Amino acid sequence: MTPIKKTAVITVQDPREFDGDPYQVSVRAIQQVRGLIALATDVLEPTTLMVRNADLERELAFGNELGNAGKDWPESPQGRQLLIIAKQLEDAEARLARLEKATAFNPKAR
What pLDDT score was predicted for residue 14? 97
What pLDDT score was predicted for residue 93? 97
pLDDT (tens digit, 9 = 90+) per residue, 86-110?
999 999 999 999 999 999 999 998 7
What pLDDT score was predicted for residue 32? 97
One pLDDT digit (tens) per residue for the chain, 110 residues? 555 567 878 899 999 999 999 999 999 999 999 999 999 999 999 999 999 999 889 888 988 888 777 788 899 899 999 999 999 999 999 999 999 999 999 999 87
Rounded Cα gap, residues 78 and 51, in angstroms: 8
49 vs 30, 71, 72, 99, 106, CA distance in Å? 29, 12, 13, 32, 44
What pLDDT score was predicted for residue 100? 97
What pLDDT score was predicted for residue 71? 80
Residue-range domain boundaries for the chain: 44-99
